Structure 1
Amino acid sequence: MARNLILSGGLFHDFAATSAALADVLGEVGVESEITEDIAGALSEPPEVQLITVNALRWQMGQDRFADLRGEWRFALPAEARTTLLDHLDRGGGLLCMHTAAVCFDDWQGWPRVLGGSWNWPKSHHPPLGWTGVRVHGAAHPIVAGLRDFDLVDEVYSDLDVLPDVRPLASVHGQPLVWARPVRRGRVVYDALGHDTRSYDNEIHRSLLQRAASWLLKRPVDDTG
């Protein structure tokens, strides 16, 4: 069984619930997950895992609206943690990044180049949480081959800064929400969905995540819908 480290925790989301839900989804395809909110501690030395998942909202909080919260929640990713993530990819490991991962680690200029994009506070936004239709680009990648479009309750992250080489595997109204890319000797998947547990209740989204895990672990990807 492959091992996965889920880096969890932060503001405005029930990360305990979504990380547990994600662990259940991945457990169905033979991935055993450990969940921690001690991101710096967990990455202070190389974890013995094949997969690292970022399901957290931890950033520097430089925006004025968060001034009252900085004392408790402000976060900068230590240099040794950055090295751990890059070394993990150099060893061929997988990195699964969910929803708010695009906001995380904004003190590290290299993070958007790893992830493939980032939240831009002056322009990025999302409409209210609610039902949305996700378009699956089924010919784009084995992760989504044969999957149909689906509806779910979620937030649609919009107007992210996305690198030019990113090719979306799923989108909403032209907004790229899921992509996969090689980074160093490893692989990265970003899935902007996953605001709360309702997102993980959707059968197709679950299948997409399970396929993503298989691809990240360099296993055969099930191509049945």
Structure 2
Amino acid sequence: MKWFIAPLALGLAACAPSTAQTDQAAAPYDSTPPEITEHMPQPAVLVFSKTRGWRHNEGIAGADRFFAEFTSENGMGLFTTANGAVFNADQLARFDLVVFNNMTGDTLSPDQEQAFQQWLEDGGSLVALHSAGDDSHEDWSWYDTNVIGPQFIGHPADPQYQDARVVNLAAEHPVMQGIPADWTHNDEWYSFDSAELGDAVPLLGLDEASYSPENLLYGPVQDLRMGGGPEGHPIAWTRCLGEGRAFYSAIGHNHTSYDDPIYRRMLSNALAWVRARDATKRGCTRAK
């Protein structure tokens, strides 16, 4: 079954908002932390999917299923929530890893943002997916600048979902072990205002000749080409922040992304890498 998504003005979020699909007018920040059972297995993963912008329902569901399967197979605990009040020092201390599962908009209070920043820089682990890297997070400047970096400028429309050639840019990186040199994947492909990632390590790039990087339906930006070959259009990268590690991937708009065995392997590698700690910090800097 194909679902129709109404096109609206580009530039406010990764997918143009509609009254049926967005939560921007939702209630203020959550203030009552959720109850977490004392019997939650350790180590544990927190999957956070609150949205106050566009809500990627299918992508959220697909990622939730993937993390449920992964934690079950690896004997880990799992807690999924859209309650931002979980971002407090006491509850964050119970988790080895946080997943921003298609999070959009101004979801956390300044105190909650600070609690997460401190947790991550003190040695936490983050996996951020798809719209967790769109342009709806500008209220949280630390995250927007230091975790994501380049600014989302749009995605193709008409057609919105396309097959594209995805290229492995860092074959020696631990996250890319077992990932082919390139493969074809179908998704909603993000473009950013720059390929400059600072001290991040680019992992995947798009071959812009393999799909139509144009938005032909709405908004001021129509030509979404970033240029320069796959290395000029990164869509996944890693960063080290303090003692913590972060992985971002722009893949994951639809649930079908999480059925792709190559992408599942990459996510599994990413979960292992962000949690790894070693003296050399392997994978934190670009190969010379």
Q: Tell me, yes or no, whether TM beats 0.5.
A: yes
Shift of 1:56: 2.9
Which moved further from structure 2: 4-13 or 191-200?
A: 4-13
Quote the offset at 1:25 in angstroms.
4.9
Contact kept in structure 2, 1:2 and 1:49, CA below 8 Å: yes
Q: Does the 8 Å CA contact 1:56/1:100 hold for their aligned counterparts?
A: yes
Residue in structure 2 matched with residue 211 of structure 1 by the alignment: 269
Change in CA separation of 1:79 and 1:97 when aligned onto 2, cut-off 3 Å: same
Q: Which residue of 2 aligns with 1:91?
A: 122
The residue number in structure 2 matching 1:81 is 112
Contact preservation (8 Å) 2:89, 2:119: no
| 8 A Cα contact 2:49 2:102, kept in partner | yes
Q: Distance in 2 between matches of 1:191 and 1:146?
A: 17
Equivalent position SS for 2:164? strand
For structure 2, which runs of at least 5 residues remain unmatched after alignment? Answer: 1-41, 208-229, 279-288
Distance 1:12 1:119 in 2: 19
Contact 1:3 1:51 in 2 (8 A): yes
1:183-211 superposed Cα distances (whole Å, 9 cap, x missing partner): 11110000110111100000010000000
Is the 2:46–2:98 Cα contact (8 Å) retained in structure 1?
Answer: yes
Q: Which residue of 1 aligns with 2:104?
A: 58
Contact 2:121 2:242 in 1 (8 A): yes
Give the C-alpha shift of residue 130 in structure 1: 2.3
Q: Partners in 1 of 2:183 and 2:86 — Cα distance?
A: 35
Deviation at 1:170, TM superposition (A): 0.8
* Equivalent residues of 1:125, 1:159 under 8 A apart: yes
Give secondary structure in 2 for the equivalent of 1:168.
strand
Flag structure 1 segments of 5+ consecutive residues without an equivalent. Answer: 60-74, 221-225
The answer on 1:22 being equivalent to 2:36 is: no
Q: Which residue of 2 aligns with 1:5?
A: 46
TM-score (norm 2): 0.63
TM-score normalized with structure 1 length: 0.80
SS of the aligned residue for 2:270 comes to helix
Shift of residue 98, structure 1, vs aligned partner = 0.5
Kept after mapping to 1: 8 A contact 2:50/2:107: no
In the superposition, relative to structure 1, how do residues 166 and 219 fare at CA in structure 2: closer, same or farther (>3 Å)? Answer: closer
Q: 1:169 to 1:119 in 2, by over 3 A?
A: same
Measure, in 1, the Cα distance between the counterparts of 2:271 and 2:277. 8
Residues 178 and 265 of structure 2 are in contact (CA less than 8 Å); yes or no, is this contact kept in structure 1?
no
Count of equivalent residues: 201
8 Å contact from structure 2 (residues 168, 179) kept in 1: yes
State how far apart, in whole Å, the 1-side matches of 2:277 and 2:242 are: 18
Range moving further from structure 2, 209-218 or 43-52: 43-52
CA distance in 2, matches of 1:87, 1:5: 16
Q: CA separation in 1, counterparts of 2:102 and 2:178?
A: 30
Q: Distance in 1 between matches of 2:118 and 2:109?
A: 14
Structure 1 residues 131 and 219: alpha-carbon distance in aligned structure 2, compared to 1, 3 A threshold: farther
Given candidates 159, 162, 185, the residue that maps to 2:192 is 159
Between Structure 1 and Structure 2, the one with more strand by share is 1
Q: Deviations over 1:18-60 (max 9, x none)?
A: 3422313532344432111112x1114442101011113422x
Tell me the distance in 1 between the aligned counterparts of 2:66 and 2:198: 29
Answer yes or no: is 1:136 the counterpart of 2:162.
no
Contact 1:136 1:144 in 2 (8 A): yes
Matched to 1:172, the amino acid is L
Give the match for residue 282 of structure 2. Answer: none
CA distance in 2, matches of 1:150, 1:29: 27
Q: Please state whether the residue corresponding to 1:9 is helix, strand or coil.
A: coil
- Structure 2 distance, partners of 1:4, 1:157, is 26
